[in-house]
């Protein structure tokens, strides 16, 4: 008896095979089970899929070896968005985290001080952007969860030491982690034979220790890393370049801040809703309350609209810093 698998099922199966993170694996496997035609000929397949799902769920629950629950490749996202710091040992990833956020990672002149991902929050205007420090990428020492971690992040910061002489080799290893995580730099042209299921993400290169640059790095390393990636010379030590970097870490997330106000009240300008660029009044209403989104009649908007207090419908596209009054 044939299974008569549908194209939808085959598509889910393909995505399952390409899944990087455990949550993606779970999601696509559940889809496969839902999409599998249920008849005599697929009974055994269904049983197999269910067994695999139970095993994956179990692992997600307790970790692959039945140890503790935490998946080190998954750092809970907080604030406006999450950046992962990736790079070779001693590039200054931890020092940059400390300089940009209030986190206190261990910074040391010897490699492999950082063993587990450590998140910190960078204040920017009225939002906070999350930055995650990670263990170094080095031959034979790369933590297996780093590709998944970079896939899960909203953006990746590649940190290199501008005074180091092996940037080419470290760049190769770092890009290998990105490709295993199926992360493709958004600023880099996609080749026609690009592998499927890529995550297009902002990837920014930080040339750290700019206080020690004798000028050779920019030329040699930028060639190895690629001139199609945005490059910022910075120094975690002196703070040089960090003021230029901070706004970019928000704008490259392509998010907008929207303030909701109640009719007859002043807007609370201290706590914006952070939404993806292109979000509409309806998206905001959904974020505020599902019920409001359903009952929404119209909204009034202050900011980029033609005049203050303009009435708009749920399809109106929001801009950064709009103030919105929802009328349900």
Ligand X SMILES: Nc1nc2c(ncn2[C@@H]2O[C@H](COP(=O)(O)OP(=O)(O)O)[C@@H](O)[C@H]2O)c(=O)[nH]1
Q: Does 114 bind ligand X (CB under 6 A)?
A: yes
Q: Does 113 bind ligand X (CB under 6 A)?
A: yes
d(CA 201, CA 66): 33
d(CA 44, CA 36): 11
Q: Does 91 bind ligand X (CB under 6 A)?
A: yes
Contacts of the segment 161-164: beta carbons below 8 A, 24+ positions apart: 161/88, 161/90, 161/91, 161/92, 161/208, 161/209, 162/207, 162/208, 162/209, 162/210, 162/212, 162/213, 162/217, 162/218, 162/221, 162/233, 163/209, 163/212, 163/213, 163/214, 163/217, 164/88, 164/90, 164/91
| Site size toward Mg ion, by CB under 5 A | 3
Kindly tell me which of 89 and 233 has the beta carbon lying closer to Mg ion.
89
What x/- string results for residues 264 through 303 when contact with Mg ion is judged by CB under 5 A? ----------------------------------------
**DSSP label at residue 127:** E
Among ligand X, Mg ion, none, partner that 130 touches (CB below 5 to 8 angstroms by kind): none
Kindly tell me which of 94 and 130 has the beta carbon lying closer to Mg ion.
94
The CB-of-236 to ligand X minimum distance in angstroms stands at: 4
Among ligand X, Mg ion, none, partner that 84 touches (CB below 5 to 8 angstroms by kind): none
Kindly tell me which of 94 and 101 has the beta carbon lying closer to Mg ion.
94
Neighbours of 227 (CB within 10 A): 9
Q: Does 93 bind ligand X (CB under 6 A)?
A: yes
d(CA 279, CA 296): 16
Q: Does 237 bind ligand X (CB under 6 A)?
A: yes
Round the CA-based radius of gyration of the chain to a whole number and report it: 23
d(CA 256, CA 273): 8
Q: Does 90 bind ligand X (CB under 6 A)?
A: yes
Kindly tell me which of 34 and 108 has the beta carbon lying closer to ligand X.
108
What x/- string results for residues 133 through 172 when contact with Mg ion is judged by CB under 5 A? ----------------------------------------
Contacts of the segment 115-118: beta carbons below 8 A, 24+ positions apart: 116/72, 117/72, 117/73, 117/75, 117/84, 117/149, 118/94
Q: Does 114 bind Mg ion (CB under 5 A)?
A: yes
Q: Does 94 bind Mg ion (CB under 5 A)?
A: yes
d(CA 154, CA 254): 10
Among ligand X, Mg ion, none, partner that 237 touches (CB below 5 to 8 angstroms by kind): ligand X
Kindly tell me which of 49 and 98 has the beta carbon lying closer to Mg ion.
98
Report the interface residues with Mg ion, using CB under 5 A: 93-94, 114
Report the interface residues with ligand X, using CB under 6 A: 87, 89-95, 107-109, 113-114, 136, 208-209, 211-212, 235-237
């Amino acid at each position: 008896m044939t299974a008569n698998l549908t194209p939808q099922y085959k598509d889910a199966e393909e995505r399952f095979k390409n899944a990087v993170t455990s949550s993606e694996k779970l999601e696509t496997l559940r889809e496969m089970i839902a999409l599998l035609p249920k008849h005599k000929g697929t009974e055994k397949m269904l049983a197999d899929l269910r067994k695999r799902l139970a095993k994956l769920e179990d692992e997600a629950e307790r970790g692959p070896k039945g140890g503790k629950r935490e998946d080190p490749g998954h750092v809970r996202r907080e604030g406006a968005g999450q950046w992962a710091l990736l790079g070779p040992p001693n590039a200054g990833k931890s020092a940059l985290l400390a300089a940009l956020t209030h986190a206190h990672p261990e910074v040391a002149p010897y490699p492999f001080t950082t063993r587990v991902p450590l998140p910190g929050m960078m204040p920017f205007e009225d939002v906070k952007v999350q930055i995650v420090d990670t263990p170094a990428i080095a031959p034979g020492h790369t933590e297996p969860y780093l590709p998944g971690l970079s896939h899960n992040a909203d953006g990746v910061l590649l940190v290199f030491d501008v005074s180091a002489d092996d940037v080419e080799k470290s760049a190769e290893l770092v890009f290998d982690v990105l490709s295993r995580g199926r992360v493709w730099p958004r600023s880099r042209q996609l080749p026609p034979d690009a592998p499927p299921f890529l995550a297009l993400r902002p990837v920014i290169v930080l040339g750290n220790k700019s206080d020690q640059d004798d000028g050779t790095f920019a030329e040699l390393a930028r060639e190895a890393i690629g001139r199609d990636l945005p490059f910022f010379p910075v120094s975690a030590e002196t703070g040089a370049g960090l003021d230029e970097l901070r706004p970019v870490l928000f704008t490259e997330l392509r998010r907008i801040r929207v303030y909701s106000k109640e009719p007859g009240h002043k807007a609370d300008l201290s706590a914006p809703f952070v939404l993806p660029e292109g979000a509409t009044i309806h998206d905001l209403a959904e974020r505020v309350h599902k019920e409001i989104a359903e009952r929404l009649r119209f909204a009034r908007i202050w900011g980029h609209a033609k005049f203050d207090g303009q009435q708009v419908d749920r399809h109106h596209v929001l801009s950064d810093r709009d103030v919105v009054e929802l009328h349900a």
